[in-house]
Chains A and B, each alone.
Chain A
């Protein structure tokens, strides 16, 4: 079974621009979560989507948004980029059910975003 894939792998943007990152989960996984990883703040949860609905959200400003499509693929968007948004963005998928709860998350290789 193919793992979680993320595109693009690397991205360079300038302040004020916006960016869209894409994630394709493992086949059969309906839950997709996004995390930001920086040297200073570590791994921080952004949000989780399940069946096209945002089910959980971390403590990030509204510039960070996401969506999920009917095939479970997910996109994350960051508008009005700031220098501090430079990070590795990781996507994870899991078999979490409609009832919620925890299941093991499997991570993709990440998208490394650099904001100049």
Chain B
């Protein structure tokens, strides 16, 4: 079975602070894919990153970085120098090679950046 856990329900930080959003996953597939999406108040899920299970290289994109560790089944997301525009709900998602395009989402982490 596929499962994603985002234990942090809500996080508040002051602008310019760094923040890390945790994501822990469970899967029996040896090949799987992990994603992060951002959902602003408008409701649309915005794709941020995709990571394949065979590629553990961490990635940085501007103020965003992702730390993928298969040993701990985690795919954490860090925002450096947070800004008010980062306020949103962030979802981690998982899909397996045997489940095709069926994504399993975590419950999301609501991030509020206080000016």
Contacts and interface: CB of A to CB of B under 8 A. Distances in A.
B43 A43 contact: no
15 contacts: A33-B101, A48-B101, A56-B100, A56-B102, A58-B102, A96-B100, A100-B100, A101-B101, A102-B96, A102-B97, A102-B99, A102-B100, A103-B101, A104-B50, A110-B43
A31 interface: yes
Contacts of B50: 104
B44 A107 contact: yes
Interface of B: 33, 35, 37, 42-47, 50, 91, 93, 95-97, 99-108
Interface in A61-96: 88, 90, 92, 94, 96
A109 B101 contact: no
B44 A110 contact: yes
Interface of A: 31, 33, 35, 42-43, 45, 48, 55-56, 58, 88, 90, 92, 94, 96, 100-110, 112
Contacts of A112: 43
**Which secondary structure dominates chain A's binding surface?**
strand
B102 A45 contact: yes
Nearest to B35: A104
B75 to A, nearest CB: 15
